Amino acid sequence: MRHANMKNVSSNVDENAMPITRSRAKALASSGGLPPVNPSTNQDGKPLTRAKSKRGASDENKQTTGATSGQPKKRAALKDVSNVVCESASLNCMWETRMQSKKHPAKRTAKVTPAILVNKRPHLQVNTKQNIIEEHNEVKAEALQELQSPTNFTQSTLTQQSECDAIKQCGIPDLMPMHKSTSMTVTQQSTSTGDEHKLCKKEGLDSLGISLISDIDSKHRDPQMCSLYAPDIYTNLHAMELDRRLSSCFMERIQRDITKGMRGILIDWLVEVSEEYRLVPDTLYLTVNLIDRFLSENYIEKQKLQLLGVTCMLIACKYEEICAPRAEEFCLITDNTYTKEQVVKMESCVLNLLGFRLSIPTTKKFLRRFIQAAQASYEVPSVELEFMANYLAELTLIDYSFLKFLPSLIAASAVFLAQWTLDQSKHPWNPTLEHYTRYKASELKTTVSALQDLQLNANQCSLKAICEKYKQPKFKCVATLTSPNLLQSLFSESKVLSF
């Protein structure tokens, strides 16, 4: 008997080491304080029944009683109305509550109350939405009426903002675009009013005889035209043409073996070469510039004049062209008069003499800008104007006397004479051209007169490469056109402003 009691005590000590739950505590009380050997059965061998409790059983009790006890009682679901009724409204209200509680922690309790009241009475939510929609429509109608009076504009804007805040707090985000469209209407009306004001201002200036200067860089979408940097680029080009101005008397001062006529014959032949190889116009202008710069600083014999011409064109092609012709091809067009070694040697001589300064403001660079300024006065860009201006500018390449004029002055005169040749019904100069060319009409008189003489005598000249080039249909046969006599009134400042 004593041994049996000791065995029960040792078993009780082992069982007490296990966690004690409510069911085990009750079993210990019924058995006189000693835990049973098998927690799932009584001393009589009957299954142990679990007392009813609101709290669910722990994981250890589930493992010991899951097989012998009946179905465990599940935890009752919380009856939260917000999970059933008006889910979108409650979520929006709770979101607004969290955001506002971060800014104002003291008002956290007051913001939660409206959401609970709305959720407890779901039939009021529909009425609230209908009331807000009706009020919103009324506010919209009043706002459209108040738009006509500028004094009520601020008040209507504040009213719409407060209505938007109320709609956000009540969880109806679908109504927000209506207020946004109203504000967009106001913006469009104010913008149109500003455009009408500018239009009236422009008409008023036109009636007074003062023309506005067109901004040729504002609507240009071609990134290669560098519209943002164009004014600074051409300011630099105007300064550079003064710094690297050519000498206009190197034939008399330096050259003794070649003449002006030889120079003209060489350039006329190079025009044919550029057409044969389909070179860009910038290559031809740079070629002539390199020839004149070399001749103005170095003496050359007439036997090497053609070698100088093809070498300068080779250098210009390497600078301007994407796929430049090889040195062998330039030897071939001279009927192999010169070898490749001679061309390469002359190339080195020219580059070293010029100090490798190949970025030169030629007439073509200014002509692009000035033609663009002239096209601003046309509703549709005139192709004939562009071809005519290019034709007149290329005529000056052959004539040695035009070296005394700046490239920008020649380009401006070419545009002036091209507009006068194509249309005598309007003045060929305007404030826009005066602004971008930086020349007044009175400053172009000498150059335009000399350029017109070239135009009228082009058909009688023996050097006809440029004239034959611009007689082609692809250039609209502009070389066949002639300009009437220039009027002295064209170079008057008052005539330009009053047009």
pLDDT digits (tens, 9 = 90+) for 364-399: 999 999 999 999 988 888 999 999 999 999 999 999
Per mean pLDDT, which of 120-124, 195-199, 286-290 is the most reliable?
286-290
Grouping H, G, I as helix, E, B as strand and the rest as coil, residue 487 is: coil
Q: Are residues 351 and 268 in the same domain?
A: yes
Read off the pLDDT of each residue in 125-141 and give the average, rounded to a whole number. 61
Of 451, 446, 445, 454, nearest to 495 (Cα)?
A: 445
User: Which residue(s) pair with 13 in the sheet?
Assistant: none
Q: Are residues 490 and 369 in the same domain?
A: yes
CB distance 211 to 377 below 8 Å? no
Q: Identity (one letter) of the amino acid at 294?
A: F
The domain boundary residue, chosen from 301, 328, 360: 360
What is the pLDDT at residue 161?
53
| C-alpha to C-alpha distance for 30 and 51, rounded to whole angstroms | 13
Q: Are residues 366 and 478 in the same domain?
A: yes
Average pLDDT of the residues of the chain: 74
210 inside domain: no
Please give the structure tokens belonging to residue 296. 């103005």
194 inside domain: no
Question: pLDDT per residue over 305-364, tens digit each?
Answer: 999 999 999 999 999 999 999 999 999 999 999 999 999 999 999 999 999 999 999 999
Q: Is the pTM of this model over 0.75?
A: no
pLDDT band for position 126 (cuts 50, 70, 90):
very low
User: Could you give the percent of the chain with pLDDT greater than 90?
Assistant: 46
Read off the pLDDT of each residue in 149-154 and give the average, rounded to a whole number. 46
Q: Are residues 350 and 412 in the same domain?
A: no
DSSP letter (8 states) at residue 411? H
**Could you tell me how far CA 231 lies from the centroid of its own chain?**
19
The domain boundary residue, chosen from 360, 381, 415: 360
212 inside domain: no
70 inside domain: no
Q: Which residue has the higher pLDDT, 147 or 337?
A: 337
Q: Identity (one letter) of the amino acid at 208?
A: L
Environment class of 50 (CB within 10 Å of its CB; exposed 0-12, middle 13-18, buried 19+): middle
Please give the structure tokens belonging to residue 40. 């799932």
CB distance 251 to 400 below 8 Å? yes
Q: Are residues 454 and 309 in the same domain?
A: no
| C-alpha to C-alpha distance for 457 and 449, rounded to whole angstroms | 13
Grouping H, G, I as helix, E, B as strand and the rest as coil, residue 41 is: strand
CB distance 108 to 97 below 8 Å? yes
61 inside domain: no
Q: Are residues 398 and 450 in the same domain?
A: yes
Q: Are residues 226 and 371 in the same domain?
A: yes
Please give the structure tokens belonging to residue 134. 């009706």
Q: Are residues 348 and 285 in the same domain?
A: yes
pLDDT band for position 174 (cuts 50, 70, 90):
very low
Evaluate if residue 35 carries a pLDDT over 70: no
What is the pLDDT at residue 218?
82
Evaluate if residue 141 carries a pLDDT over 70: no
User: Any idea what the CATH number is for the domain that residue 264 is in?
Assistant: 1.10.472.10
CB distance 188 to 157 below 8 Å? no
The domain boundary residue, chosen from 360, 390, 409: 360
What is the pLDDT at residue 345?
96
60 inside domain: no
Q: Are residues 365 and 468 in the same domain?
A: yes
Backbone torsion region of residue 21, taken as left when φ is above 0, otherwise alpha when ψ lies between -120 and 50, otherwise beta: beta
For residues 39, 45, 51, 55, the Cα torsion angle rounded to the nearest 10 degrees is: 30
Environment class of 369 (CB within 10 Å of its CB; exposed 0-12, middle 13-18, buried 19+): buried
Q: Are residues 352 and 367 in the same domain?
A: no
Q: Are residues 475 and 352 in the same domain?
A: no
106 inside domain: yes
Range of the domain at 373: 222-244+361-499
**Could you tell me how far CA 270 lies from the centroid of its own chain?**
41
| C-alpha to C-alpha distance for 97 and 9, rounded to whole angstroms | 61
**Could you tell me how far CA 245 lies from the centroid of its own chain?**
38
CA distances from 78 to 92, 109, 437 (A): 22, 22, 84
pLDDT band for position 51 (cuts 50, 70, 90):
very low
What is the pLDDT at residue 18?
58
Of 63, 59, 64, 25, nearest to 47 (Cα)?
A: 64
69 inside domain: no
Evaluate if residue 267 carries a pLDDT over 60: yes
| C-alpha to C-alpha distance for 417 and 447, rounded to whole angstroms | 10
What is the pLDDT at residue 472?
94
Q: Are residues 268 and 230 in the same domain?
A: no
Q: Which residue has the higher pLDDT, 275 or 112?
A: 275
Q: Which residue has the higher pLDDT, 322 or 209?
A: 322
Read off the pLDDT of each residue in 107-133 and give the average, rounded to a whole number. 47
Domains contained in the chain, number: 4
Rounded to a whole number, what is the distance in angstroms from the first to the last CA of the chain?
137
